[in-house]
Structure formats: C-alpha cells, structure tokens
Amino acid sequence: MNVAILGNQARAMVNFWSVFIARLQADGHTVVCIIPPGDAEGDAALTSMGVRVRHYPLDRKGLNPVRDVATFAALYRIFRQERPDRLFCFTIKPVIYGATAAALARVPGRVAMITGLGYMFEADTPVKRLLNRVAVLMYRAALACVHTVFFQNEEDRAVFTAKGIVPAGTEVAMSRGTGVALDHFAPAETVTAPVTFLLVGRLIEAKGLYEYAEAARMLKARHPEARFRVLGPPEQGLGSVPMETINQWHREGVIEYMGQTRDVRPFLREASVVVLPSWREGTPCSVMEGMSMARAAIVTDAPGCREVVEDGVNGFMVPLRSPEALAAAMERFIEDPSLVQRMGRAGRDLAEREFDAEKVAAHIMRVMRLDAAPRAGGNPQ
C-alpha cells in the first residue's frame, strides 16, 4: 500500500518516525512523507531512507487564517496527486487540516495521533481559553474525518472524551508515543562527576525552562560544580522563551545553552540526569531517549511525563511549576551520585520493556490494518 505520513517538521520525521517508516517499507509498503520545506538536510535524510518527500506550506504556530487555508488547499492537492491508501498524521495542524483535506480527497484510510495537547489546552489566560474553544471545535471537525485516533497517554484521551471531541464512530487506540530505537540510543558510560543535568526540548515556557533556570540558580549557590544544560531549537510566537532570556541565563552561568542538534546522543553521553519539568506532554521522546541510554530522569507529575518515570525507580517526579521541588530532586543526585547509575540502569530496563520503537511501530501498523483492505463503516469519507 501507499502510506502518506504527514508531519510538521522534517527533523521530527527523521528523529522520531524512522523506525516506523523502515517497518512499513520492510513489509512492502511505499511511503511518502509530507512536510514543510526549508530543511534540506532533513529532506536528504528522508530521501536516503527510500521515501519520497512532498512539501506543503505550514505556519506551525501562527494564527493567520489565510495561511491555514493555503495549507489545507496544498494538502488537498497533494492527496489528490498521491492517492495514498493510508494517511498517518500527527501534531495539531497536520491533524486538523490533513484529516479534513484527506477526507475531501477520499483517502480510504485516515489515522491521526494526538502527540500532546500543547499551548491551546493550557487555558490559564483569556487568550488561551479562547484558543482552546477554537481548537476544540477544529479538532472535533477533524476527528470526524478519521477512522482511528491514537493517544499517547490516558489524560489526553480523557480530555478529548470529556469535551466530546472524538465522535462515537471513531476507533480510539493507545500508543507509547513513537517509542525509542534501543540500538541507536545504546547505553552509555555513567557520568557522576561533575553531576550534569540536561533539559532537551524546544525553547518554550511549557517545557518548564523558567522553573529549571530558577532551580539551577538555587543549586549553583550550594553546588557550584554541578552543571545545568539546555539543548533545543529556539521558538517564536506565543509561549516561547526569548533567546535574550536564554543568553542572559548563559552569561550569568546559571545554565549552559548548548544550541540545537540533529543528534542528541553526544549530549546525552555527557549528561548524568535528563530533566523535563514540562507542564504537559504526549509521551516525551527526550526522556525516553535518555532512559534508553541509561540516564536517570526527573520529570513533573504531569500528563505524559507520568508515562516514563516510575518515581524512585528510574528517577523522580516533582510537583508542577515548583522550582523548589525540582531543585530538591536534582540535589539528591548531587549529594548521592550512586543514584545516577542505579536509576540509569532501571531506566534502560524500562525502555526495553515498554518503549521499544520496533514494538510501537508494529502495534500502530496492526491497529491501522495495513495488511488488509480499508475497513468499511466508521465515519463518512
């Protein structure tokens, strides 16, 4: 079958979906990846995997309706030209515009994955509450156009159910995120001196960057040898952390900003503990990758984050938006470095049991029934 995979970044497609793509190809399916332009290196990586790449215009975080109409129209044209048997789409705009465009173009099998609820579901300001209402309506329309919707954690599924977003005729399935490629993210030698913390993520406030910086500031006064690093691409628009703020923290010696990369493994090798004080996730890839490389973790007791850490086993969970609690958890590793190795080993064990990308890919393909004709029934095409 011809399978179209629709996402919002070439980098994410390469980093998180390579195992799924390879599994599809190994089973005899052809794959076309539909992504925005502007990342030649990402395009080349996908092409080298034997997939075809199609581009469409996407303003990832913008709210300009004219641009979003252009996105919808471009996707409709691509679906009409490609005639895929299946569409697999993920992240908010690809789901909303991709699912509806695919239904209009009569793509037979349409599957969406909710990778997290993000900025518009925080609803802690009047603007966010308005955006939340708009997002609910748009998601409701989009998911009426799919046959199956995957969720990465039970909390997100509960939110969509409570708001009546998923129509009664739509199949609901669960997935352990994208999983992690265990061989690619192989265990690395433990780093206990100096204890080095690493936050990997986009530079947005919802990743807990302000809490992380404040916790690092507290600990630097007591443990000047400890290192607090941030790795991730800058963002613009609503909810972003300005680069001038990141650079100021760096100049003050509070954190070390490591820039951005296509390969996080060298940075994970140099880390003792991965930290993600996020407000909400789908299933955090950065933590899964760290676990696979035998790194302990600290996360918030938040949706998605709870999926990857067993408190006291492979890391610690801390209350949401509490720099004090985050600092206390990090200090435990500084004062007892033996925790770094013990919890790191437990993280690798958990990754092998629960988050193997090969198993995740096989599960998604079974739910999509890629070895059978498109199923009858479900929502109207």
Q: What is the pLDDT along the chain (381 residues), one digit of tens a residue?
A: 999 999 999 999 999 999 999 999 999 999 999 999 999 999 999 999 999 999 999 998 777 889 999 999 999 999 999 999 999 999 999 999 999 999 999 999 999 999 988 666 665 677 667 777 888 899 999 999 999 999 999 999 999 999 999 998 899 999 998 999 999 999 999 999 999 999 999 999 999 999 999 999 999 999 999 999 999 999 988 789 999 999 999 999 999 999 999 999 999 999 999 999 999 999 999 999 999 999 999 999 999 999 999 999 999 999 999 999 999 999 999 999 999 999 999 999 999 999 999 999 999 999 999 864 443 333 333
Please give the pLDDT value at position 124. 62
Residues forming a β-bridge with 55: 35
pLDDT at 60: 81
Judge contact between 356 and 362, C-beta under 8 A.
Answer: no
Amino acid residing at 64: N
- Residues constituting the chain: 381
Task: Please answer whether residues 149 and 173 qualify as being in contact, where contact means their C-beta atoms are separated by less than 8 angstroms.
Answer: yes
The span from the CA of 177 to the CA of 23, in Å, is: 16
- 372: which 2 tokens? 């059978």
SS3 of residue 257 by DSSP: strand
Please name the residues in contact with 375: beta carbons below 8 A apart, sequence gap of 6 or more. Answer: 109, 147, 369
Q: How far apart are CA 66 and CA 381, in angstroms?
A: 25
Q: Indicate left, alpha or beta for 123 from its phi (over 0: left) and psi (-120 to 50: alpha).
A: left
CA atoms 198, 203, 209, 210: torsion sign: positive
- DSSP for residue 319: -
Place of tokens 């308005």: 130
Predicted pLDDT at 301: 97
Same fold, 2-179+357-368 and 196-354: yes
> Do residues 119 and 129 touch, judged by C-beta distance below 8 A?
no
43 dihedral zone (left: phi>0; alpha: psi -120 to 50; beta)? alpha
For 259-303, how does the pLDDT look when each residue is reduced to its tens digit (9 = 90+)?
999 999 999 999 999 999 999 999 999 999 999 999 999 999 999
Cβ burial of 241 (10 Å; 0-12, 13-18, 19+) is: buried
Residue 225 CA from chain centroid, whole number: 32
- Contacts of residue 271, Cβ cutoff 8 Å, sequence gap at least 6: 191, 196, 197, 198, 229, 290, 295
Q: Which residues contact 376 (CB under 8 A, 6 or more apart)?
A: none
pTM over 0.85? The answer is yes
Helix segments in the chain, DSSP class H: 10-26, 40-48, 65-82, 92-104, 126-143, 154-162, 209-222, 243-252, 265-269, 285-292, 323-335, 338-354, 357-368
> What's the CATH number of domain 196-354, 3.30.70.920, 3.10.20.30, 1.10.10.2120, 3.40.50.2000?
3.40.50.2000
Q: Structural domain boundaries of the chain?
A: 2-179+357-368, 196-354
Contact 165, 347 (CB under 8 A): no
CATH number for the segment(s) 2-179+357-368: 3.40.50.2000
Q: What angle do CA 247, 235, 143 make, to 5 degrees?
A: 155
Of 203, 213, 197, the residue nearest 233 (C-alpha): 203
Dihedral angle of Cα 346, 116, 142, 79, to the nearest 10 degrees: -70
